[in-house]
Structure 1
Amino acid sequence: MDRVAAAAGVGKGTVFHRFGNREGLMRALVESRVETLSAALESGPPPLGPGAPPAERLGAFFDAVIELASKNVKVMAAFEQASTDRLSSPIYLSWHAHVSGLIASAAPSLDADLVAHLLLGSLHSDLMLRFLKTGETDRLAAGLRSMVSTLLR
């Protein structure tokens, strides 16, 4: 918080007033980086946006999340560390609604709510962070796509 305040040329109190705490600051940083992805999910071209089959959209979603995370490893890791209740974050809630909706459309026999939590939970792991830091994003994305296609078959 001290470094952010100094870089912004404001007092530490101003940063705390705006963001509340370190988690609030990290959440704001992550949300600013997620805006483009959120817009693409809602109204972008297929396969990420509407118009593609659910399984294809879900694969594109995970590809986009991996790409976003690989470009923002430090910010995402800091957010993970600072987050006290990730499951109630607006980003998580939005992503969960998107993923569970696609799963429900593609495979009505699955517990879409639970499977969405499980898939999204895989993004919040030390293993994922390790793959991102070692540059194994292609392997990670391929693994997620394989899981999605197997689940929705």
Structure 2
Amino acid sequence: MSERKPRKDAARNRAAVLAAADELFARRTSPEDEVTMADIAAAAGVGKGTLFRAFGDRTGLIHALYEARVEPIRNAVEEGPPPLGPATPPLQRLPALLDAILCFKLDNRHLALALEGTGSDSPYQAGHYDRWHALLQAVLEQIPGLTDSDFTAHVLLAATRADLVEHLVGQRRLPPEGLRAQLASFTTKVLGSPALPGSPAEQIHS
């Protein structure tokens, strides 16, 4: 019995820390508003030592929070129904995947910025980038006649970068729906395919 209480406390503290970090990142009004480990510890009601033991450092905490937030999307991508699931035809699935990534960045703008800043000052070095790139490349390779799926996946992902989303939506005040529509149009041009019936946004959220 003596071993169970520490494990329960650790799980409770971890949940409290992730909830506090989630709220603090959601509250940020600009990328310059830094969320520190001290801020998160105070909001969660735990000591800083608890954070470092559980997550290693701020980067580890950001990755843990990202994984928790993105898990529903990942589950839908891996085993869900259309339009994100693997049974969806590639010309429909690819725009839906990009729209889902963009929506995640829009809903979690400042967390996404912090996450992309953990990759040695390059978003391309952050672990999540390789996973999304590999997924898009695999879908692109299913499209007949499309060449250089590796480069095309990089180009399409670049349109969903958190710093670009922040610049367009946060600084230039482009409406989120406008950005989603522009990404859908851009994707259609890159694929060289006719416009699909219904936007990816409509397919995902209907």
Equivalent AA in structure 2 for residue 78 of structure 1: A
Q: Provide structure 1 residue ranges, at least 5 long, that are not aligned to the other structure.
A: none
TM-score, normalised via structure 1 length:
0.87
Partner deviation per Cα, 1:116-143 (whole Å, 9 max, x = no partner): 1121122225332123333522222122
Is 1:73 the counterpart of 2:112? The answer is no
Q: For residue 122 of structure 1, what is the aligned residue in structure 2?
A: 159
SS in structure 2 at match of 1:106: coil
Identical amino acids, percent of aligned pairs: 39
Q: Report 1:1-153 matches (<5 A).
A: 1-84=37-120, 86-124=123-161, 126-133=163-170, 134=173, 136-153=175-192
Stretch of structure 1 that moved more, 50-59 or 30-39 = 50-59
Q: Is the Cα contact below 8 Å between 1:43 and 1:50 reproduced in 2?
A: yes
CA distance in 2, matches of 1:150, 1:44: 27
Q: Is the Cα contact below 8 Å between 1:55 and 1:148 reproduced in 2?
A: no
CA distance in 2, matches of 1:113, 1:75: 27
TM-score, normalised via structure 2 length:
0.66
Change (3 A) 1:18 1:93: same
CA distance in 2, matches of 1:33, 1:90: 15
Q: Provide structure 2 residue ranges, at least 5 long, that are not aligned to the other structure.
A: 1-36, 193-206
- In the TM superposition, residue 145 of structure 1 has moved relative to its aligned partner by 1.4
The higher relative CO (CA closer than 8 Å, separation ≥ 6) is in 1
Structure 1 residue runs of 4 or more that deviate by more than 6 Å after TM superposition: none
User: Which entry has the higher C-alpha Rg, 1 or 2?
Assistant: 2
- In the TM superposition, residue 102 of structure 1 has moved relative to its aligned partner by 1.1
Change (3 A) 1:125 1:36: closer
CA distance in 2, matches of 1:125, 1:3: 23
- In the TM superposition, residue 101 of structure 1 has moved relative to its aligned partner by 0.9
- In the TM superposition, residue 109 of structure 1 has moved relative to its aligned partner by 3.8
Change (3 A) 1:148 1:12: same
- In the TM superposition, residue 82 of structure 1 has moved relative to its aligned partner by 3.6
Change (3 A) 1:39 1:69: same
SS in structure 2 at match of 1:75: helix
- In the TM superposition, residue 80 of structure 1 has moved relative to its aligned partner by 2.5
CA RMSD for the aligned pairs?
Answer: 2.0
Q: Is the Cα contact below 8 Å between 2:115 and 2:126 reproduced in 1?
A: no
Change (3 A) 1:125 1:34: closer
